[in-house]
């Protein structure tokens, strides 16, 4: 998805029954054909769909022709599936030595580190649990809790895109492609770098701290008259600014709060003092008073995102057509911006096999020219 957003020609190879994610909703209320739902639309925009049965000689022949003319292949089957199909990295690399072959699996591929976990299936929830994310998420003293978004899927995917682009740059310079292996489990451990260095330095296992930070104060989510707001005043000058803005400059020299270490030792007292100020004001009033001085922001919900002019200006809410519906639907945009090569627009996700004939004709044309 990320590479397609940035202009790559991404061809999604599907079997004749299609990606099972197509069946997942939500669907527009007037969707007459239900070719796919919102989840599929969101992560498959800007791609083309090619139907191949890779278990047949004909399907493999078409796939090999595609490999000859492609820069990269990305797959996320369990370890060994592509090998059993006769589509291993070694076979593909022999056909196109410059190709980048990337795998995204739950626990990686034996080629880059064989472990007893390699053959296990995995889902977002599972790698959040195993990678330590759930151990530090949720209320203080409460049970482990997963993150709201599917970071166990999204972050490994972003790392895979980073790896593919890096390998493509190497291939451009050397003429040789290579294997790129991203394990979802590994990616989540890298995302949780804080708990790794904390335990590595202290030998103490971090646990969940709710909305506070174990190393900083004042860094928390506080109630207001109309919701919640996040305020970060961790450094001395930020605390001094916050105290002055609240009309209580004496807090800057209060022994409980005068230094970062003192504030951390008295974090709850600092939270209580600031909460007395925030709960008598709206989020907008607090943002107006502080946002140009320290880091502050309201806790927003989905409908707030749609109303935010900043996100609209930066094309972070993208409207797309949806097959079978007369209505436009919305998905999240890409956060990467280029001044020299701006991202002009997005195309909807493809229907199953929508581009099969088109891709085959292009492959045949290129083959004849070569």
Where do the domains of the chain lie, and which CATH numbers do they carry? 2-193+342-369 (3.40.50.10540), 219-300 (3.30.1540.10)
What is the rounded average pLDDT of the residues 224-250?
A: 97
Please tell me the predicted confidence (pLDDT) of residue 331. Answer: 96
Which class for 131: exposed (0-12), middle (13-18), buried (19 or more C-beta within 10 A)? buried
How far is 344 from 223, CA to CA, in rounded Å? 40
> Has residue 364 got a pLDDT over 90?
no
Please tell me the predicted confidence (pLDDT) of residue 342. Answer: 81
> What's phi and psi for 69, nearest 5 deg?
-110, 15
> Has residue 151 got a pLDDT over 80?
yes
Please tell me the predicted confidence (pLDDT) of residue 45. Answer: 96
Please tell me the predicted confidence (pLDDT) of residue 341. Answer: 85
CA distances from 130 to 314, 321, 354 (A): 35, 38, 38
When pLDDT is cut at 50, 70 and 90, the band that residue 369 belongs to is: confident
What is the rounded average pLDDT of the residues 185-211?
A: 96
Which class for 114: exposed (0-12), middle (13-18), buried (19 or more C-beta within 10 A)? exposed
- The model's pLDDT over 25-35, given as tens digits with 9 standing for 90+, comes to 999 999 999 99
> Has residue 345 got a pLDDT over 80?
no
DSSP 15-54: -TT--GGGG-S---TT-SS----HHHHHHHTTEEEEE--T
> What's phi and psi for 326, nearest 5 deg?
-90, -5
- The model's pLDDT over 27-71, given as tens digits with 9 standing for 90+, comes to 999 999 999 999 999 999 999 999 999 999 999 999 999 999 999
- The model's pLDDT over 314-324, given as tens digits with 9 standing for 90+, comes to 999 999 999 99
What is the rounded average pLDDT of the residues 151-170?
A: 98
Cα diameter, the chain: 80
How far is 76 from 54, CA to CA, in rounded Å? 15
> Has residue 368 got a pLDDT over 90?
no
Report the half-sphere exposure of 308 (CA within 13 A, side-chain side).
15
> Has residue 239 got a pLDDT over 90?
yes
Instruction: Count the helices and strands in the chain (H runs, E runs).
Output: 16, 10
How far is 296 from 290, CA to CA, in rounded Å? 7
> Has residue 367 got a pLDDT over 80?
no
Known catalytic residues are 153
Mean pLDDT of the chain: 95
pLDDT above 70 as % of the chain:
100
> Has residue 94 got a pLDDT over 80?
yes
List the one residue out of 39, 9, 41 whose CA is nearest residue 24.
Answer: 39
3-class SS of residue 10? strand
How far is 295 from 220, CA to CA, in rounded Å? 11
Please tell me the predicted confidence (pLDDT) of residue 366. Answer: 80
- The model's pLDDT over 276-308, given as tens digits with 9 standing for 90+, comes to 999 999 999 999 999 999 999 999 999 999 999
């Amino acid at each position: 998805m990320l590479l397609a957003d940035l202009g790559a020609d991404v061809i999604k190879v599907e079997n004749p029954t299609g990606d099972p994610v197509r069946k997942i909703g939500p669907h527009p209320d007037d969707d007459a054909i239900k070719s796919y739902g919102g989840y599929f639309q969101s992560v498959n925009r800007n791609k083309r769909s090619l139907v191949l049965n890779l278990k047949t000689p004909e399907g493999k022949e078409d796939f090999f022709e595609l490999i000859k003319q492609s820069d990269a292949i990305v797959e996320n089957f369990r370890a060994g599936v592509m090998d059993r199909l006769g589509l291993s990295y070694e076979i593909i690399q022999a056909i196109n030595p410059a190709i980048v072959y990337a795998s995204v699996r739950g626990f990686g591929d034996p080629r880059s580190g064989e472990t007893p976990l390699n053959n296990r299936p995995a889902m977002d929830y599972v790698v959040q649990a195993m990678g330590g994310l759930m151990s530090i998420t949720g209320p203080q003293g409460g049970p482990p809790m997963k993150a709201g978004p599917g970071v166990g899927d999204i972050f490994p995917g972003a790392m895979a895109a980073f790896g593919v682009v890096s390998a493509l740059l190497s291939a451009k310079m050397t003429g040789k492609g290579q294997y790129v292996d991203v394990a979802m489990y590994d990616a989540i451990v890298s995302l949780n770098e804080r708990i790794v260095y904390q335990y590595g330095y202290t030998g103490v296992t971090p646990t969940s701290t709710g909305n506070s930070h174990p190393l900083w104060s004042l860094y928390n989510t506080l109630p207001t008259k109309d919701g919640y707001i996040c305020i970060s005043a961790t450094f001395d000058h930020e605390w001094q600014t916050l105290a002055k803005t609240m009309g209580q400059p004496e807090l800057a020299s209060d022994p409980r709060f005068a230094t970062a270490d003192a504030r951390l030792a008295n974090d709850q007292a600092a939270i209580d003092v600031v909460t007395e100020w925030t709960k008598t004001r709206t989020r907008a009033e607090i943002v107006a008073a502080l946002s140009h001085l320290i880091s502050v922001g309201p806790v927003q919900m989905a409908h707030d995102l749609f109303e935010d002019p900043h996100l609209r200006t930066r094309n972070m809410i993208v409207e797309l057509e949806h097959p079978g519906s007369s209505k436009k639907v919305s998905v999240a945009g890409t956060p990467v911006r280029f001044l020299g090569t701006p991202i002009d627009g997005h195309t909807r996700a493809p229907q199953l096999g929508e581009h099969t004939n088109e891709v085959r004709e292009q492959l045949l044309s290129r083959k004849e020219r070569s």
